Structure 1
Amino acid sequence: MSKIAVIGSNMVDLITYIDRMPAQGETLEAPGFALGCGGKGANQAVAAAKLGTDVLMLSKVGDDMFADNTVANFERFGIDTRYVQRVPGVSSGVAPIFVQADSHNSILIVKGANAHLSPADIEAAAADLRECKLIVLQLEIDLETVYDAIEFAHRHGIPVLLNPAPALSGLNAEHLAHLDFLIPNESELALISGQVVDSPESANAAARSLVAGGIRHVIVTLGEQGALYVGEEGEFRVPGVRVEARDTTGAGDAFIGCFIHHWNQDADIRHAMEQAVAYSACSVMGLGTQTSYPDRETFKRFQQQR
């Protein structure tokens, strides 16, 4: 397998487990708390690395007590951290996460040092990026950096994947047209396409409109319902895997990390989606984000049991 580059965020997850969200002005006791490593870029990189992918990470950490732990966490999974750099006088990114008893979550993000990842950082890593088989992006870093990375990949003939999360409206259509893969959830698909997405048929129609605009492959994650593909290989759905969910935080990142791992092996999109749906389902049975992502052996056992 070739190396994959993830250009994106890292966050410190501040996870509070709650029975319900407090009303304005109300104070409630919460039953549990956990501190972990997260951020969409980091999550996707760690999921792929846990499965055996060689990952190069471009990211920024702050000038605080969280920074060394974040870098050490990447290194623990064998991720190349040469381009994970500290920003003086700036906090690391943090993500307060509230997980309810039904496993659903609400998340706030503070970008911190992530906002300082710039096109200059892509240029500094250009020689190593040109050796990668795929560049993976999200929207927790500066949008101009995302656009610059897309155009860098396009110029050098490197496939590029964008996970458009957190959702943003008004994304530049010319840059999107240079994507090989766009992987949104349903709400992100609606925002990007400008269409209502409230049924399987409308999701297909919205995805078709993006493919018509130039994107080669659109994969829509549907939570427990699986995933939808629209693109050069036609249209198909991969059904979900039924599990007892404990915490859905980071499930979309688990999907993408597993997808890029398997696509990197043989470029079989349907198979990669099937594996990613199962991997995402396995992840929601655990607590937290990266801590819930299974390694190769754990994932293999999960599949055998199913």
Structure 2
Amino acid sequence: MKTIAVIGSNMVDLISYTDRMPKEGETLEAPMFRMGCGGKGANQAVAAAKMGSNVVMVSKVGDDMFAENTLRNFQSYGIDTKYVNKVPKMTSGVAPIFVNSSSQNAILIIKGANNFLKPEDINKAEARLKDVDLIVLQLEVPLETVYYAIEFGNKHGIKVLLNPAPAVPDLDINYACRCEFFIPNESELEILVGKPVNTIEEIKIAAKVLLDRGLNNIIVTMGEKGSLWLTKEGKEVLIEPTKVKAVDTSGAGDAYIGCFSHFVVKTNNIEASMRKASLFSALSVTEKGTQFSYPSIEQFDEFESENL
């Protein structure tokens, strides 16, 4: 069975639902709170696992009350946690999330133990990682670890997917060019290239900056505008969005990445995998939370049949 390795972050999501965001210095009563497991790496791992992938996670948790819950959560989805290790005297990563009445969110990230995921952790997992079919990366762990993971994938002939989130302007694009897939959203693309991304045409121009620097494939997720795949050979594929009533957009990008990873490993068909990921992501925003909202295979299949 093919395997996906997610090398990256996990967080505890502390989600507050509010009618509006408070102004500076203002205290508001929020109608609802929910706590869950999140973090970009963990979300992507769970999305892939929910679709049926064999997933191994390489990550760090703290030495606190959240750690065991995070491990149990991974294991509940069948994710291999052998290489999810505790950092003594350190908190787990935490993400306070604020969601307003129009389903838009604002997120704070306290990386905690995620800052301690190092290249040597990849070396310790080498016997397991060298045989996987895809390595999935994000930027909620140290950049040196992300770069080392890309080198590891190249060394062992493993395809690498890099989701440059949260975006950092000093990301070394030379490393991105060594990845098979580079998948930012439009705001992350804007940060990376410093060009406007208000329309699809502007997004194409911004993406071409990176293609001209050597990227093989770039897939830009654009929320309500769908997703766009561009290649250095000039191919352009636009996947139209699936219209749904959004309740909470938290984790939608991670849902896309995880689902895309599952199907591209399974089928090696990028365009078809994008369509599946678009549907999965759309369905995820119809429920509250991040991993809570990711559909089962049965729910996804039903939704797909309704939207053919």
Do residues 256 (structure 1) and 281 (structure 2) align? no
Q: Quote the residue 1:277 is aligned against.
A: 278
TM-score normalised per structure 2: 0.97
Structure 1 residue 196 displacement after superposition: 2.3
Identity %: 56
- List aligned pairs for 1:83-232, cutoff 5 A: 83-231=83-231
Number of residue pairs the alignment of both structures matches: 306
SS for the counterpart of 1:65 is coil
Q: Quote the residue 2:66 is aligned against.
A: 66
SS for the counterpart of 2:22 is coil
Q: Quote the residue 2:290 is aligned against.
A: 289
Contact 1:64 1:92 in 2 (8 A): yes
Q: Quote the residue 2:12 is aligned against.
A: 12
SS for the counterpart of 2:171 is coil
Contact 2:215 2:232 in 1 (8 A): no
CA deviation profile, 1:55-112 (whole Å, cap 9, x unmatched): 0100000000000000000000000111000000000000000000100000000000
Aligned equivalents of 1:292 and 1:197: distance in 2?
28
SS for the counterpart of 1:203 is helix
Q: Quick check: 187-196 or 67-76, which moved more?
A: 187-196
Contact 1:62 1:89 in 2 (8 A): yes
Contact 1:47 1:258 in 2 (8 A): yes
For 2:238, the aligned partner's letter is R
SS for the counterpart of 1:36 is strand
Do residues 243 (structure 1) and 211 (structure 2) align? no
Aligned equivalents of 1:243 and 1:173: distance in 2?
35
Q: Structure 1: where are the runs of 5+ without partners?
A: none
- List aligned pairs for 1:50-65, cutoff 5 A: 50-65=50-65
Contact 1:224 1:281 in 2 (8 A): no
Contact 1:283 1:292 in 2 (8 A): yes
Structure 1 residue 213 displacement after superposition: 1.8
Aligned equivalents of 1:68 and 1:173: distance in 2?
36
Q: Quick check: 46-55 or 199-208, which moved more?
A: 199-208
TM-score normalised per structure 1: 0.98
Structure 1 residue 127 displacement after superposition: 1.7
Contact 1:245 1:284 in 2 (8 A): yes
Q: Quote the residue 1:76 is aligned against.
A: 76
Q: Structure 2: where are the runs of 5+ without partners?
A: none
CA RMSD in angstroms comes to 1.0
